[in-house]
Amino acid sequence: MTMFGLYTGQRLADIASLCWSNIDPQAGEIRFVASKTGRSMILPLAPALAKHVLSLPIGECLEAPLHPRAYAILQAQGRSGTLSNQFGDLLAQAGLRPKKSHSKVFAGRSARRQTGGLSFHSLRHTATSFLHEAGIPPAVAQAFVGHDSESIHQHYTHVGNESLRRAAHALPELL
Q: How many domains does the chain have?
A: 2
Question: In this structure, is residue 106 part of a structural domain?
Answer: no
Whole-model pTM: value is 0.83
Are the C-beta atoms of residues 125 and 11 closer than 8 Å to each other?
no
Distance from C-alpha of 11 to C-alpha of 15, rounded to nearest angstrom: 6
Distance of CA 107 to the CA centre of its chain: 28
pLDDT for the residue 117: 84
Question: In this structure, is residue 39 part of a structural domain?
Answer: yes
Taking the CA atoms of 17, 120, 96 and 128 in sequence, report the sign of the dihedral they define: positive
> How large is the C-alpha radius of gyration of the chain?
18
Phi, psi of 130 (to 5 degrees): -60, -40
Tell me which residue range forms the domain holding 131: 121-170
pLDDT tens across 46-90, in order? 999 999 999 988 867 999 999 999 999 999 999 999 999 999 999
pLDDT tens across 126-148, in order? 999 999 888 899 999 999 999 98
pLDDT for the residue 100: 84
